[in-house]
Amino acid sequence: MNMLNLECKNLAGFTAVPNIFIDRYMPHANGDFVKIYLYLLKCVSSGSRDLSVCKMADVFNYTEKDILRALTFWEGKGLMTLTYDSQKHLGGIRFEEVPSFSEEDSEQPAESPQPQMEPIVEDKKKPVYSRDDLESFLAKEDISQLMYIIQKYLGKTLSPADTNTILYFYDVLSFPHDLIEYLFEYCVSKNHKSMRYIEKVALDWASHNICTVAEAKEAASLYSNSIFSVLKAFGISGRNPGNEEKAFIVKWTNSYGFDIDIIIEACNRTIRSIHQPSFEYADSILTKWKERGIHHLTEVQSLDEEHNSKKPAVSVQKAKNNFNSFSQRTYNYAELEKQLLNNN
């Protein structure tokens, strides 16, 4: 039975749990894994020296495999590092600083072709690879070379959690090596080096069955062109769209499947109606067109004609009185309205 050597940078007479662990990690983790993590925090804080996998299994009435599975999970999250002896038996656990989350981590991918409100590859959940799995993958020359290239892009040494995520792209999402390399090149070129952000983009690509570099480039190009066209139609210049505005554009192009000419028409009608750019107003127009099954700009024109034809012609005659007795004109208000819309 191997005794475990615990290390931590800060020792105290109480068990300190980082708030970010409670806020960001604990809600999404298996409850048994959380208990193991908290128990180990208590042990390292109190300076326990008689700890082993076997003893932890007895404390919680788990199997030793359950304990190792929990430890591997937290290592995959980057919260601890496990060390092994020559017989590949667990010999040490070092707690790492809980990674902080920047605002970038919560962003929607700016150039991603898939809106985040849609479900994403639900049947392809990210596994936590064991140490043996990692060694097996990294023993392959092409995988090892890929990791080296990614480190160059990110400008840092990959953590176990980073490596686990990259292998997820390769092993589960079935991304080829060149697509994974382009994924990092693409995100870094947009000033995004957060692995959480990169993973969101990868999941979006997988949702669209993007499996080649050419397909990824085409999707990014189409999305960028859509953004530029919408901003131009609204008369917006000198800035990029905000996250909510990007979400509207993704919704129109992907969820609704509209061509850019229909989207531009909605933007133009927005300006004519309220005399200022409004993504919300344009969205209300496009949503109505979606509900009516509109797919082409010609169908929008037909819808307008149908709407105008249903408006009854109204004749108005001014009654004669002692002050005037001339003949009154008859106005076709539907025709006037149509002419006004055409002029606009």
Average pLDDT over residues 172-200: 91
pLDDT of residue 121: 42
Higher pLDDT, 203 or 254: 203
Residue pLDDT, tens place only, 44-72: 877 777 788 888 888 888 888 888 888 88
- CA proximity to 45, closest of 4, 98, 95, 1: 95
Residue 238 carries which DSSP code?
S
Does residue 277 come out as left (phi exceeding 0), alpha (psi in the -120 to 50 range) or beta? beta
Residue pLDDT, tens place only, 135-153: 888 888 889 999 999 999 9
Flag whether the pTM goes above 0.85: no
Residue pLDDT, tens place only, 303-315: 888 777 776 655 5
The SS3 call for residue 185 is helix
pLDDT, mean over the chain: 79
Residues 6+ apart with CB under 8 A from 142: 177
The answer to whether 45 and 12 are in contact (CB under 8 A) is: yes
Residue 273, both tokens: 């109606």
| Order of strands, sheet of 90-95, starting from the edge strand that comes earlier in the sequence | 5-7, 90-95, 80-84
Residues 6+ apart with CB under 8 A from 202: 169, 173, 175, 183
> Which of the residue ranges 179-193, 253-267, 269-283 would you say has the lowest mean pLDDT?
253-267
Cα–Cα–Cα angle for 184, 188, 189, nearest 5°? 115
Cα–Cα–Cα angle for 175, 177, 180, nearest 5°? 65
Number of other residues whose CB lies within 10 A of the CB of residue 65: 10
From the number of C-beta atoms within 10 Å of its C-beta (0-12, 13-18, 19+), residue 181 rates as middle
